[in-house]
Amino acid sequence: MKKVAILGSGAWGTTLGQVMCDSGQQVLIWGRNKKVVREINRRNSNRKFLKGIDLPPQLKATTDIKAALEFAEVILLAIPAQTLRENLEAWKGFFPENVPIISTLKGIEVATQFRMTEVVQDILAIDKSRLGLITGPNLANEIIARQPAGAVAASENPQIIALMEKLFTTEYFRIYPSDDLIGCEFAGAAKSVIAMAVGMAVGMNYGENTQGLMITRGLSEVARLGGAYGANPLTFLGLAGIGDLVASAQSPLSRNRSFGELLGKTGSIVKAKQQNVKTVEGVPSAGAMLELAHRVGIEVPIIEAVSDVVAGTLTPKGAMNRLMTISIKAEI
């Protein structure tokens, strides 16, 4: 049994708390929202993020970040990606030494274009051998209901991979190991952007042909981009790549797909934001992914189109028209 502190009391942090309780771990969730923390402790529920779900009674929560980190033998990051640097700066004095840190975050930092584990290294000044990542086609509402699912446990340290296998393996949650941390992080960040492109197509009442085009050509862009940064191209054919992309692009439970639909229906980033209050990682990640592509000379027309729509310089209709008129090149 490991003592695991989960930093983040949203849907995904709470869901992984249940998974780890089911695998026999002792889990403490840190959250900023006092009502959410109180409800987890008193009612064994988190109705703000997971309505109608009874949580394991042994799952506990706190608003005291110092207490959470003192408790931890393993730390799990489950906060919005673009808040990671700010939070780590505030918390770094409390982080225990030599404790593994596992990220669940899918995004690229806007200001630096760092992957999330790079942000952790930058702020905490730790070796990457302490870092791991859990990623894949993981919609919280399905996993919290204990529907069968799988995820990738990625790290450059075999011991961290083995640890994640023990922490997360249950009768309904299966773990696949990977040493391609770079590829898995690129895949997780980019799928949010591609899922928004698919959502835009749905919002404009385009059918499965258009959606299939966005998914497959988007995956090709991500694989080329990741490969330019040292990722294994085969990673993008697995759970972290096509698996996560299909789940996010096809499910109405996906925030990125749903926000893309709003973009397609309203035709405006301003109007779409007015109708959405949830964190959508694909919005800030689009421009950051495009900057990474420019640095290595990789063409990413779908990512670029989404970035321009998010920036307000292109409409979803204009994005689709542009994608259909760019110069034709070989598919592979």
Contacts of 159 (CB under 8 A, 6+ apart): none
Q: For residues 2-37, b (16+ Cβ closer than 10 Å) or e, as one string?
A: bebbbbbbbbbbbbbbbbbbbbebbbbbbbeeeebb
Q: For 48-97, write each residue's pLDDT tens digit.
A: 999 999 999 999 999 999 999 999 999 999 999 999 999 999 999 999 99
pLDDT band at 188 (very low <50, low <70, confident <90, very high): very high
Q: What is the pLDDT of residue 281?
A: 85
Q: What is the pLDDT of residue 286?
A: 94
Per DSSP, helices labelled H in the chain are 11-22, 34-43, 65-71, 84-91, 116-124, 140-143, 158-168, 181-203, 208-228, 244-250, 255-266, 269-274, 282-296, 301-311, 316-323
Q: For 200-211, write each residue's pLDDT tens digit.
A: 999 999 999 999
Which one-letter DSSP state was computed for residue 210? H
Check for a shared fold between 3-179 and 190-323.
no
Does the structure show a pLDDT above 90 at 326? no
Q: What is the pLDDT of residue 301?
A: 96
Catalytic annotation on 191?
yes
Does the structure show a pLDDT above 70 at 31? yes
Q: Cα separation of 75 and 101, whole Å?
A: 5
User: What are the residue ranges spanned by the domains of the chain?
Assistant: 3-179, 190-323
Does the structure show a pLDDT above 70 at 331? no
Q: What is the pLDDT of residue 277?
A: 67
Which one-letter DSSP state was computed for residue 27? E
Q: What is the pLDDT of residue 278?
A: 77
The CATH number, out of the four listed (3.30.465.10, 3.40.50.10800, 3.40.50.300, 3.40.50.720), of the domain defined by the range 3-179: 3.40.50.720
Superfamily of domain 190-323: N-(1-d-carboxylethyl)-l-norvaline Dehydrogenase; domain 2 (1.10.1040.10)
What tokens appear for 39 in the block? 């409800």
> Angle at the Cα of 54 (from 52 to 58), degrees rounded to 5?
155
Q: Mean pLDDT, to the nearest integer, of 9-25?
A: 98
Name the catalytic one among 3, 35, 92, 191: 191
Does the structure show a pLDDT above 90 at 309? yes
